[in-house]
Structure 1
Amino acid sequence: MNRKAKAIGGGVGIVVLLAILASTTMGATAEFVSPTDLEETDAHEGDLVKLEGRVVNLQDGDRITFDVADANHTKAVVYDGQMPETMSKGRLVVAEGHFDGETVHADSLTVRAHEGEDAAPEGHDHSYNGTGNDYEGTDVPSAPS
């Protein structure tokens, strides 16, 4: 093969690989959304999303279920993994997963650290009360405006 044919073949190959990389990367990115975003539009149904808000109604059983709340709405989240050590009622969380129109089926959970040295909400003592839906010593802080 001559040099010109090799250069053209290599160039086409690189373009094809870049196109494949771009399409798979763009399709796999999740958009940050709030419960209000999911409640007030159908634009995210079936999409991979990163739902961010405060944890309420936390229940730890065979799978973790909870609601994520903002100032206006709440959205249900289901997670089949292990509960993060720092997760509790009132903590800021990001649940990444697919939204089916009602519930986010999370593949990963990230508990956001609070500002300052104390990473727990005010009054949080990590004491589980055994009811499956609440931690003693925590109040859900009001959502930021």
Structure 2
Amino acid sequence: MTLRACGLIIFRRLNAGLDSKPQEIEYLLLQTAYGHHHWTPPKGHVDPGEDDLQTALRETEEEAGLKTKDFNVLDGYKKEIKYKVKNIPKTVIYWLAELKNCNTEIKLSDEHQTFRWLNVDEACKLAEYQEMQEALREAHQFISTNK
């Protein structure tokens, strides 16, 4: 049996449309309120009858309070991460989504204790796991080459 989870790597652009300043891209990471208190983008397990993207959208709304009207899912980016949790294989699929309004409020569920908006280097430091760091760097590269 393989556990399956899906989520969104959410980013926002600061200084968008301001020619005087370079755009800054920040990623949303949530810190769990349980266990090791690790940091990840919003994600969760697939419910019966759901497809992967539906799961990612539902979990993002449940964990961060962001509805589909708050962001755009980018075409062309999908990352699958495989690892083991207590010796059980797990697959997590992430899509990339851009927040439409960089000031949209994040409303955490009780599964998380805090959140941060971070540049890619800061996000990778907090993410700890190499697979998650690679996903964030690949997402950043995708954004940079698909403006």
TM-score by length of 1: 0.25
- Higher RCO, 1 vs 2 (CA within 8 Å, ≥6 residues apart): 2
* Bigger Rg, structure 1 or 2: 1
Write 1 or 2 for the structure with the bigger share of strand: 2
TM-score by length of 2: 0.25
